[in-house]
Amino acid sequence: MYILALNCGSSTLKFQVFDTKTYLPVFKGNAEKIGEQGSFVTFKSDANRGKKEIEMQNHSDALTAVIDLLKENGIPLSEIGGVGHRVVHGGDKFACSVGATDEVVKTIRELSSLAPLHNPANLIGIVAAREVLPNAKQVAVFDTAFHQTLPDYNYRYAVPGAWYRELGVRKYGFHGTSHLYVAKRAAALLGMPAGECNIISMHMGSGASACAIKHGYSIDTSLGMTPLAGLVMGTRCGDLDPSIPFYVKEQLGLSDKLIMEALNKQSGILGVTECYADRRDVLEHFREDDKCRLAMDMEAARAKKFIGSYMAAIEEPTHAIVFTAGVGENNAEIRAKICENMEHMGVKLDPAKNEAAKAFLGAGEMEISAPDSRVKVFMIPTNEELVLVEDTVAIMNGTYNPDHVKMDYSFAK
C-alpha cells in the first residue's frame, strides 16, 4: 500500500508517495505556479525525473496532474490507501492528527481567519484529494497540534482577557511536525526514551522557530498566534516592539495591508541586507558587506537568546540542541555563531564536525558537539512528510495514539 503526503501552499502543491512496507518515498515532486501562467510540475523517482509544463487553474487541476504522473510512473491508484494533509492552523481545536471528516473540514474552514494564507490552500487540497481519490482515507495533520501541550502561562498573552476568550488571541506555534520528528530522532541518538528528554529544537529555514521540549512535550515555542513572531527569518521580522507598526503607519500613511506585507515579506534578513533573503547569499557576501554581516549577527544573537531562555524554562538539564530545516541543516557558519561562547552553559561545538554537517552534500544526522560538551548538539535533517504518513497509517489501522510521546513511530527507534 502507498500513502500520499500532500502539502498545499497558496500556489504550490508538494507531494511524496511512500511505500508503507519500508516507509521510504518512491515518488515525489512539486506543482508550482498554480493559477498562474507557466505552471509546471517537477517530479523524481529512483528511475525517472523530469519537469512538465501543465496548465493548472486550481489545486484540483494540480492534483489531477500529479495523479496522471503517478499512473505514468507505475503507481496504481488502487494501492493509494490514504492521503496525509499538512494543515497549518488547527487553533486550540486539534491537539493531534485526525481523519478529515466533514466536521473537521468545517472547523478548519472556520479557523482560516487565523491563517488566511495557508488554511484555505490546505482545505482545497483536502477537497481535491477527496474528488480524485474517493476511496483513500483523508487525514489532517496540524502544524499547531504539537504545541497544544504549552502551559497557559506560556500560551497566553498579557492582553485583555476578552481578546483570548472571544477572538482566540494566544500563542499557537507552528512547525510542529518538524519539531516532533527531530525530537524523536534526537532521543534515539541520545539512547534515551523520548519522555525523559529535554531538547531545544531550532527549525531554521525561510521561516524559523525555536521549541523547548521537556520530557518529550512542547512547553514553549517562538512563533505565536501567527508565523511572524520569534526568530529573525528570511523575510519575516520576528519579535519587535508592538508599537512599531502603529508608529510607521502614522508616519508614512501606510495601510494595514501594506504594513503586514512589509512585516511578512520585506523584513527579516531581506529587510536588514536590503538585497538578500536567502542565507546562502548572505554567507557569500558577509565578509565584505556590512549589512550581510549585521543580518547574520542579528539572526545568531536572537537564536542564542531563545536557546538560553529555553534552557531556563525547562528547569532541568538540557540534553540536546537540534538544528534542522534548510538553514539549520546546511549553514555551518550560523550554527557556529549561535553556539559561540556558550561553553559556560555546557554547549561546545566541534568545528570540524560542524563544517562537515551539510545535508545538501549528503550528510545525514550528525552530532556536531565536542566530546566534552555537556549538552549534545545535533544536525538532523527534518522529515515532516514521514510524520504525515505514519499518522495516516496509524489512524487507518486504529493504532494511532494522540499522546505523541507514547506513539509507536518507526523513526523513534
**Cβ neighbours around 365 below 10 Å, total:** 17
| Structural contact between residues 169 and 242, judged by C-beta atoms closer than 8 angstroms | no
289 labelled catalytic: no
Active-site residue identified among 19, 102, 143, 372: 143
Q: Which residues of 285-311 are buried (b: 16+ CB within 10 A; e: fewer)?
A: bbeebebbbebbeebbebbbebbeebb
Strands 366-367 and 208-214 come out as unpaired
Distance CA 52, CA 11 (A): 16
Question: Which ranges constitute the DSSP H helices of 133-232?
Answer: 152-155, 161-167, 176-190
Reading the block at residue 269, the C-alpha cell is: 534578513
| Structural contact between residues 15 and 28, judged by C-beta atoms closer than 8 angstroms | yes
| Structural contact between residues 196 and 215, judged by C-beta atoms closer than 8 angstroms | yes
**The sheet that has 198-204: what strands, in order across it?**
217-221, 208-214, 198-204, 320-324, 376-379, 366-367
Distance CA 71, CA 37 (A): 25
DSSP H or E stretch at residue 7:
strand 2-8
The residues that are catalytic are 143
